[in-house]
């Protein structure tokens, strides 16, 4: 059964410092869980006890989100940097397993925001695959799957398309690796989002549904019929998370290039977006 998630960064820069109001709001809007972002610099100080309590009190599930940085870049030629990346992925999996989650995703395969002016070298590709394989083996007992989220060319040069992510997942070759697709990035990089989803098939473990401008879902140019038709075609029934950002969370706005108001408010993105997405899911549920 599909579960509906909302990204914590829509409302707060750091969820663990004040999780209660965000959790209550997510529950009131009708979400089943929260995707919680934890940066490498935050993980050792993350208040997991407070978060666990907030999730329990609102009966919400969670999905893990992280992005590697230059100090944890698993494509790096420096073995010490790659080891820190593996360690961060392991810590992330252990954290979200304790919180009741079974998935952690994001730019988990390279440093987010790193651009070299060219595509990945074979050395970088192999370093990423080998590091991810090691991480997957280390976290096997947690029950957590690591997701590979291809992002657009302005945020990474390593994975931009579903085909890239599928190729890397197959190279890693572990049962707890999967692909995470995001309609915002797909709108930029894929010739056919429908074909991208269908071709990913059983490797698709997680989905972000975002409007092309990260505003309210259903108000832009994403072809939502093709997205939900594709999800129906492969029988996808995992988490579907609404991910959008607003200028009010300044650090998030800076890193995701949200300079203008793309929606009336964060609450409108959540409430109106969820209503629209649920109606689309219902439309294709019996197809």
Name 134's Cβ contacts closer than 8 Å, sequence gap at least 6.
86
CA distance 151 to 189: 8
DSSP string, the chain: --EEEEEGGGT-S-GGGSHHHHHHHHHHHT-SEEEEE--TTTGGG--HHHHHHHHHHHT-EEEEE--B-TTS-TT-S-HHHHHHHHHHHHHHHHHHHHTT--EEESS-SSBTT---SS---HHHHHHHHHHHHHHHHHTGGGTPEEEE----TTT-SS--SHHHHHHHHHHH--TTEEEEEEHHHHHHH-S-HHHHHHHHGGGEEEEEE--TTSSSTTSSS--HHHHHHHHHHTT--SEEEE----TTSHHHHHHHT--S--SS-HHHHHHHHHHHHHHHHHHHTT-
For this structure, is 243 an active site residue?
A: yes
Verify whether residue 79 is a known catalytic residue.
no
Residues 276, 216 contacting (CB under 8 angstroms): yes
Of 149, 155, 189, 211, catalytic: 149
Active-site option among 35, 94, 124, 243: 243
Distance CA 104, CA 131 (A): 15
The residues annotated as belonging to the active site are 149, 243
């Amino acid at each position: 059964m599909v579960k509906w998630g909302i990204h914590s960064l829509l409302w707060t820069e750091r969820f663990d410092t004040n999780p209660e109001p965000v959790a209550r709001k997510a529950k009131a809007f009708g979400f089943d869980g929260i995707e919680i972002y934890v940066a490498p610099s935050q993980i050792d100080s993350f208040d997991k006890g407070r978060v666990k309590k907030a999730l329990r009190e609102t009966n919400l599930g969670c999905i893990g989100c992280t992005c590697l940085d230059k100090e944890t870049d698993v494509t790096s030629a420096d073995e010490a940097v790659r080891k820190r990346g593996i360690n961060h992925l392991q810590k992330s999996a252990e954290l979200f397993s304790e919180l009741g989650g079974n998935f952690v995703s994001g730019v988990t395969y390279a440093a987010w925001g790193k651009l070299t002016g060219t595509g990945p070298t074979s050395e970088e590709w192999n370093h990423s695959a080998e590091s991810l394989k090691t991480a997957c083996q280390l976290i096997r007992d947690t029950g957590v799957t690591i997701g590979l989220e291809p992002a657009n060319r302005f945020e990474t040069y390593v994975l931009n398309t579903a085909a890239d992510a599928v190729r890397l997942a197959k190279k890693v070759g572990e049962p707890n690796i999967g692909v995470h697709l995001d309609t915002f990035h797909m709108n930029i990089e894929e010739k056919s989002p429908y074909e991208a989803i269908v071709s990913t098939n059983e490797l698709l473990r997680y989905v972000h549904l975002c409007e092309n401008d990260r505003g309210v879902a259903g108000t832009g140019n994403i072809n939502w019929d093709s997205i939900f038709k594709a999800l129906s075609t492969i029988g996808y029934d995992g988490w579907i998370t609404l991910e959008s950002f607003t200028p009010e969370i300044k650090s998030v706005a800076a890193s995701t290039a949200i300079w203008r108001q793309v929606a009336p408010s964060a609450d409108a993105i959540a409430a109106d977006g969820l209503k629209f997405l649920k109606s689309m899911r219902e439309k294709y549920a019996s197809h």
